[in-house]
Structures are given as C-alpha cells and as structure tokens.
C-alpha cells in the first residue's frame, strides 16, 4: 500500500506540473484557467479518474500531490504578485475535480468488483 501511495503521489505531481507546462501550447495562455476552461477541467478530471482506477485508495494523496505539482510550476515560471495566494486557492478548488473523479473511479471499481463476487 505504501508503494502505491508513493506511485500515486509521483504520478499526480508530474501530471499537475505537466498540465501547467502544456497550457501555453494547448490553450495559448500561461495559466490554464485563463484559456479554454475545457482543457484544464478535462485534464484534471481524466487524470483523477485514471489515478482512481489505476491506484484505488490513493486518490487523496494524489490530490495533494497534483496541487503541489501545479503550485511548484506556478511558483517557478510565473512571477509572483499580490494575487499569488488567490492562484493557490484556485488550484486547490479546481483540483477537487481530480479528487471527485478519482473517488468516483475508485468507488466504481470497488462496487463493480463487489457485484461480480456474488
């Protein structure tokens, strides 16, 4: 279980960092929520679902890691200003999509495996 948590955190951290790194290419904006919101929302939801399905029971650890990956990229690349705290707040709120879709995948995996045991 411990290894799965570390895997989930590493993968989620890299995904969070990559979402922001690819944002200028995909959406045309440095901050993913400034461009097409669909890119940011979809990437968080799909990655959360993937972590929840591939590594169930580690979604909460993945949530904290994806927030940290996004925050690290934001703090390295984007100049900090008076609204940096608001940016961290937005990252945490938007990343709830990762958490919700990951929990949905984990629950679905558990539910359907329980149904097949009967």
Rounded CA gap, 101 and 96, in Å?
8
Rounded CA gap, 114 and 118, in Å?
7
Q: Where are the alpha helices (DSSP H) in 27-58?
A: 37-54
**Tally of structural domains, the chain:** 1
For 89-99, how does the pLDDT look when each residue is reduced to its tens digit (9 = 90+)? 999 999 999 99
Which whole number is the average pLDDT over 9-18? 97
The pTM for the full model equals 0.90
| Structural domain range at position 112 | 2-117
For 34-79, how does the pLDDT look when each residue is reduced to its tens digit (9 = 90+)? 877 789 999 999 999 999 999 988 999 999 999 999 999 999 988 8
Angle, CA of 23, 7 and 18, to the nearest 5°: 10
Residue 10: alpha-carbon gap to chain centroid: 11
């Amino acid at each position: 279980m411990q290894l799965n948590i570390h895997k989930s955190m590493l993968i989620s951290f890299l995904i969070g960092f990559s979402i922001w790194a690819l944002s200028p290419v995909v959406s045309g904006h440095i901050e993913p929520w400034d461009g097409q919101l669909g890119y940011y929302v979809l990437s968080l939801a799909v990655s959360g679902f993937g972590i929840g399905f591939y590594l169930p029971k580690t979604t909460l650890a993945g949530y904290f890691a994806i927030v940290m990956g996004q925050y690290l990229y934001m703090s390295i690349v984007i100049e900090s200003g008076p609204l940096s705290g608001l940016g961290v707040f937005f990252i945490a709120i938007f990343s709830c999509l990762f958490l919700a879709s990951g929990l949905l995948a984990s629950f679905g995996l558990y539910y359907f495996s329980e149904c097949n045991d009967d």
